[in-house]
Amino acid sequence: MYQYKTLSNGIKVVAEKIDYLKSISIGVWVGNGSRYENKEVNGISHFIEHMLFKGTKNRSAAQIAHEIDSVGGQLDAFTSREYTCFYTKTLDSHIPIALEILSDMLYNPSLSPDDMALERQVIKEEIRMYEDSPEDLVYDLSSYAAWGDTPMGRTILGTYESLDSITPDIMRNYMNNHYTSANTIISVSGNFDDTFFELLEKYFGTKKMLDTKPYLPDAPYISKNNIVKEKDIEQVQLVATFKGIDVMDESVYSLLVFNNVFGSGMSSRLFQNIREQRGLVYSISAGHSAYINTGVFDISAGMSPESLGEVAHLISKEINTIKRNKLTSAEITKAKEQLKGNYILSSESTGARMQGAGRSLLLNKPIYTQEEALKKIDAVNADSVAEIIDRVLDSSTMCISAVGPVNNVENLFELD
Residues annotated as catalytic are 49
Are 274 and 300 in contact by the 8 Å Cβ rule? The answer is: no
- Among residues 395, 389, 373, the alpha carbon closest in space to that of 258 is found at 389
- C-alpha–C-alpha distance, residues 257 and 322, integer Å: 13
E-strand stretches of 104-210: 184-190
- C-alpha–C-alpha distance, residues 258 and 263, integer Å: 9
Chain centroid offset of residue 43 CA: 16
- C-alpha–C-alpha distance, residues 81 and 85, integer Å: 12
| Phi, psi values for residue 229, rounded to 5° | -120, 110
Are 87 and 96 in contact by the 8 Å Cβ rule? The answer is: no
Q: For Cα atoms 267, 272, 277, give the angle at the middle one, nearest 5 degrees.
A: 150
Are 209 and 54 in contact by the 8 Å Cβ rule? The answer is: no
Q: Any residues with CB less than 8 A from the CB of 72 and at least 6 apart, and which?
A: 90, 91, 94
Q: Report in angstroms the alpha-carbon separations of 140 from 7, 149, 202, 348, 372.
A: 38, 12, 41, 32, 35
b/e map of 275-289 (b: 16 or more CB within 10 Å)? beeeebbeebbbebb
Collapsing DSSP states into helix, strand and coil, what is residue 83? Answer: coil
- C-alpha–C-alpha distance, residues 393 and 297, integer Å: 8
Q: For Cα atoms 237, 240, 242, give the angle at the middle one, nearest 5 degrees.
A: 155
Q: Report in angstroms the alpha-carbon separations of 330 from 51, 270, 337.
A: 51, 18, 11
| Phi, psi values for residue 13, rounded to 5° | -130, 135
Are 292 and 247 in contact by the 8 Å Cβ rule? The answer is: yes
Rg of the Cα atoms in the chain: 23
